[in-house]
Amino acid sequence: MRSTLPFILSLVFIYPQSNYFNIVSGNSREIIHASSLWLSGTPMINPMAKNRFFLEIGSSLTLLANNSYKYPNVDIGMKVTKNLSIINKIYGFKTGNEHPQIVGGGLQYYFGSGDSLNWSATVQRINLKGLRYFSLSSLSIDLRKWYKLKSFKFRLGIGSNYFKQRTFSNTDVLPAMIKGQINYLGFDFSLPIRTFNLGLENQISKSMIISTAFVQKEIF
């Protein structure tokens, strides 16, 4: 098990990354849609967890789109109270001639009846920078209900992503600015394996699905 985390880390960053940030040679509107839906992903932090710090690393893949898009994910979470966590995305990677930078964060709030915190609400703002042809700002709001079946934990709910894309002056394939909204269903599950949580997160919109396989470590 000691080798599990290094192995998954290598899969995330060595696994072939998407070269579809190039809106000049690709399907420009699908690229924007896929990128925005990817940025709306949030870490699956158990509301009843006793630990305070969380590191979640994963790899995302689009389904049902005309093209296949692949992205790495790194999420950091910190529980500041029993009911509230701060979440952050701060990382970058290389794909072809592009060097995307993902920067942003948000809040997860947990609530429920009595001592059972079986609901979570998330607000998150993430920026995608460092690209040649465009930048993207994503604001996500979602609501999830938590369930447990034996050792499995499930998170089911709905969300909306509000994005703003700016096209740079070196291309005219899209307007200078595009604003839009993507509504999606969220269905996630995780399973504890010794000191790790392994799972799958899914964001389902009307035109595509983003599935993210992840490993999560509760630090302390």
pLDDT tens, residue by residue, 13-41: 544 454 578 888 778 889 999 999 999 99
CA 10-11-16 angle, 5° bins: 115
Residue range 79-135, pLDDT digits in tens:
999 999 999 999 998 887 888 999 999 999 999 987 789 999 999 999 999 998 899
Whole-angstrom CA distances from 134 to 65, 140, 149 are: 21, 19, 43
The per-residue pLDDT for 16 is 46
Confidence of residue 1 (pLDDT cuts 50, 70, 90): very low
Q: What is the pTM of this model?
A: 0.89
What's the CATH fold of domain 4-218? Porin (2.40.160)
The per-residue pLDDT for 120 is 97
Determine how many CB atoms are found less than 10 A away from the CB of residue 65.
Answer: 19
Residue range 137-180, pLDDT digits in tens:
999 999 999 999 999 999 999 999 999 999 886 666 778 888 99
